[in-house]
Structure formats: C-alpha cells, structure tokens
Structure 1
Amino acid sequence: MFGGDLTARTDLMISLGFPDHDIAAAIAAHQNASMGRAILAVYRSAAQPAMAEAGRKLNSAAAQPGLALLPTDDSFNEADDTRRAADRAGARIEELEGLGHWWMVQDPHRSADALNRFWGTLD
C-alpha cells in the first residue's frame, strides 16, 4: 500500500475516497515502510482473541465519558456495529452526516466542532 512513487501513493489514496488531492499528496509524501509496519501492527493487534477481550471490557468503559464519531458515508465501517459498541460503552454518538472515512479532511470545521462539543462537556 505504501510502495511506489509519490504519484502512485497519492492516486491510491484518492481511489480509496480521499477527498482532496493536495492533502492526499502531502500525506503520501510521508508514507513509507515504517508507517506500513506500524499500521499492520495495529491491524494485527485487533485479531482474536484481542477483539473478544476488548469487547468484554466495553461495559467498564462507561465509567469514563466517551465519544463515538459516526460518519454516515464511511464505507469502511458498519454504522450498526459502531452504535452497538457505543451503547455498550455508554459513549455519546456524534453523527457526521454525509461524511466518509476521511471525515477529518472532508469537513475539518464540522469535525473539529464535533470534537470540541464533546470536549466541552468534560471536567
């Protein structure tokens, strides 16, 4: 995923739905083998039995305030799964209507507002 030259990496990000070519190119400029290894380590850490254990701990997460961002057009995540997990953890859900997986780039102001609203509720 992080192989090829800058143009290839930028084109891949755009093909995955990244909304802005210039920002995609700026991010792609920093994609390298180290980043690839780090991402794979995160994904691999989510394998079983780690995910089952994390699921068992969701109920105890309700002791802390939580926020689940739910971009409604995210093709990489299932909205129902996010809702169930947020409910079990006692987390507030903030829907980002019309935004996808790259919500923070698609509409940075609305995204920041959602985060700031949540942070504003914390002590």
Structure 2
Amino acid sequence: MAVRRREAALRALRDHDAAATERHYGVPAGGFADLLVMQGMPRELAEELEGEHDEGMSAAMLALYRSAVPNLHADWGTQLPARMPAPGLVLSPNGHPFNEAEQTEEMAAKVGAQLAVLEGLGHSWMVTHPATVAPILTTFWNAQAEQQAEHHERSAVPSMEQ
C-alpha cells in the first residue's frame, strides 16, 4: 500500500499533475521545485533538481524503492531480524510528507535502535539542516565509541581472582 502511494506521488511530480501533487503532498505545488522548497530546500538547488527530474529519474527512484532489501515499505520491517547485531540510530524527519511516525517507532523498537525525531525537517534535511542533525549523529557515534572503549578496557584487565 505504501509503495503504491509513493509511486503515485512520484508519477504526479513527473507528470506535473498539480491536482495529484496537491492530493499526495497536501499542498498546492507548481512543480517539483516548489515541493522541495516547501520541505526546506534552498530555491536555487530545488530549481536545479527540478530541471533534472524527468521520467528517467522517476523510474530510477521507483526502481530503488522496489529493490530495497529488505523492502521496508512492503511489510515495514517484517523481514528484519528481531534485533540488529550492531547499535543503530533511526532518523525520522517528521516534516516529510511520507513519514509515518508510528511505523518508524515500531521499526526502531523492533531492531533495538535509538530513534531521533528530526522535528519539522523534511526529505532533504541533510542539505537544508546539516548543522541541526550533526550533533545528533556525533552524540550517537561518541556514545558508541565510549561503550566500545569501556568494553575493551574491561576485557583487557586481567582477573585478580586467579
């Protein structure tokens, strides 16, 4: 269901179908650039991307959605292991039109990952707000490094019980 909805939304953008774009994204959009700007992307970059957004790009994006293994959108995590073998961090930009908070929370919990909600950020957060997200990432990475160092320290100390 979610894959079909994303495919229809991409077709609306590709075909410059204003009514369908409004239906899928919830806002009137004159084109792809307007949608990207609405999500916080600088207009100059959004217009550059709009110039490149054609049927080939839509086909590539759809192929990527369809080929993801596991395809998180097909059964949202049913193919994932109960817990991932390494620590994880799920970034959830709640300003993204396709963000489904409940499913994101469920997936993060299922795999034992931390969840960081990127308040008000959209699809292009890494372009529009890197300084906002960088501390979230570095805090997570630093915590992992500290845990790893503590583990190595404990395993390097010889037992005094012998």
Q: Deviations over 1:58-85 (max 9, x none)?
A: 414x221111112232221111110000
CA distance in 2, matches of 1:41, 1:110: 31
Paired positions, count: 117
Q: 1:59 is matched by which residue type in structure 2?
A: A
Of 82, 92, 100, the residue aligned with 1:59 is: 82
Of 95, 102, 106, the residue aligned with 2:117 is: 95
CA distance in 1, matches of 2:109, 2:124: 23
8 Å CA contact 1:86, 1:92 repeated in 2: yes
Taking structure 1 as reference, are residues 79 and 37 closer, same or farther at Cα in structure 2, changes over 3 Å only? Answer: same
Deviation at 1:54?
4.6
Q: Match of 1:7?
A: none
Percent identity over the alignment is 32
Higher relative CO (Cα under 8 Å, sequence separation at least 6) belongs to 1
Of 10, 29, 33, the residue aligned with 1:13 is: 33
Q: Match of 2:106?
A: 84
Taking structure 1 as reference, are residues 112 and 28 closer, same or farther at Cα in structure 2, changes over 3 Å only? Answer: farther
**TM-score, structure 1 as length reference:** 0.70
Q: Which structure has the larger Rg?
A: 2
> Helix, strand or coil for the counterpart of 1:14?
helix
Q: Match of 2:27?
A: none
CA distance in 2, matches of 1:32, 1:121: 42
RMSD: 3.2
Q: 1:91 is matched by which residue type in structure 2?
A: A
Provide structure 2 residue ranges, at least 5 long, that are not aligned to the other structure: 1-12, 17-29, 146-162
